[in-house]
Amino acid sequence: MLGNWHQLWVIISNPDNVPVVALIVLVPFFTWYALRQAKANDRLIAKLEADPELARTHHRKTQPYHPSWQKEVHVWPYLLRIELLAAIIVTVVLLVWALTINAPLEQPANAAITMNPAKAPWYFLGLQEMLEYFDPWIAGVLMPTFIVLGLMAIPFIDANPLGNGYYTYKQRRFAIWTFLAGFEGIWLVLTLIGTFIRGPGFMWFWPTETWDPDRVEFIATRNLDQMFGVNGKWLVHILPASQKPYADLWAKGLFGIIPVGLYFLVAGWLFYKIITSTPFSRKIFRRMSLLQVVVMEILLIVMLSMPLTFFMRNLFRIKYVWETPWFNL
């Protein structure tokens, strides 16, 4: 356990990493804060479901209530004073932060001297980490597009009308688990890996391990077709003469369809099982149109491919599962 704690401190105290350290505190706090209110509402919902008479007359909130209170309050001053207070607090936080920690300024830009590690700003470290597992066009272009479009699609594929405008867990289990998995389980975890674990050469250094800029890593990765010994020596007999020299490419390209297709089918079936696993979720599922189901399945399958690839690479050292002359997956 005699690690290099100084190294860890250097990373934590790097001014540009302050937001990441702040997120380690803020995100769990707000997750807890949201779920705590969700639990409170869930208890109320359970009570009202059990007692229809009460449900008719209850004000249906967990906030303090009195029948004589007005439902609404004036913006001036009840909201504006909070906004003013928030602005003052943020200003004070900023001033203290700005007076105690200086914005980093490195040496002048120099194309001849490579920064090591050359890292993206913290909010893009998730993407940079993906770059380790996918080819650039997937990690840098396809995945961000999927993330943005996927986020925008959420309101249109979520067919559950419950939980609109109040915290709840029991009425939106699947939605909440999916979002937490995506935002915290994938995006933030990748950001943390990119911040705390990736050292020189963007190599994997466990926390407290010294960042050695001279470290050389030989990670023997292999492709799935190599593990299965696919080399086209059978295919060469079937192919037309003009294609015989490319038997290897053909074999690999065709072979790759199997694992990718299999993954889509298995993952799709798995998600189907999950979204139809309870009577309530089946009720929601029946509300969905075919297009909604298809879009949701595709997004979920793409999302799951990220952690899957992460484990395949780091545990089994598999690089590509599908090789073609134009792209590799």
- Residues 2-41 binding other proteins (CB under 8 A) are 16, 18-19, 22-23, 26-27, 30, 33-34, 37-38, 41
The single residue among 1, 53, 57, 165 that binds other proteins, judged by CB under 8 A, is 165
Half-sphere exposure of 208 (CA within 13 A, CB side): 5
CB of 318 to other proteins, least distance (A): 21
Between 6 and 74, name the residue whose CB sits nearer to other proteins: 74
Instruction: Record the tokens describing residue 301, joined without a space.
Output: 């399958």
- Determine contact, residues 104/16, Cβ cutoff 8 Å: yes
CB of 166 to other proteins, least distance (A): 5
Count of residues that interact with other proteins, criterion CB under 8 A: 104
**3-state class of 198 per DSSP?**
strand
Site for other proteins in 49-108 (CB under 8 A): 49, 52, 55, 59-61, 63, 69-76, 78-80, 82-83, 86-87, 90-91, 93-95, 97-99, 101-108
**3-state class of 222 per DSSP?**
strand
The single residue among 11, 174, 176, 250 that binds other proteins, judged by CB under 8 A, is 176
Q: How far, in Å, CA of 236 to CA of 203, rounded?
A: 40
Between 130 and 247, name the residue whose CB sits nearer to other proteins: 130
Half-sphere exposure of 175 (CA within 13 A, CB side): 22
Is residue 291 close enough to count as binding other proteins by CB under 8 A?
Answer: no
- Determine contact, residues 205/140, Cβ cutoff 8 Å: no
The single residue among 10, 54, 92, 148 that binds other proteins, judged by CB under 8 A, is 148
> 204: which strand partners?
198
CB of 241 to other proteins, least distance (A): 25
Residue 63 sits at φ, ψ, to 5 deg, of -70, 155
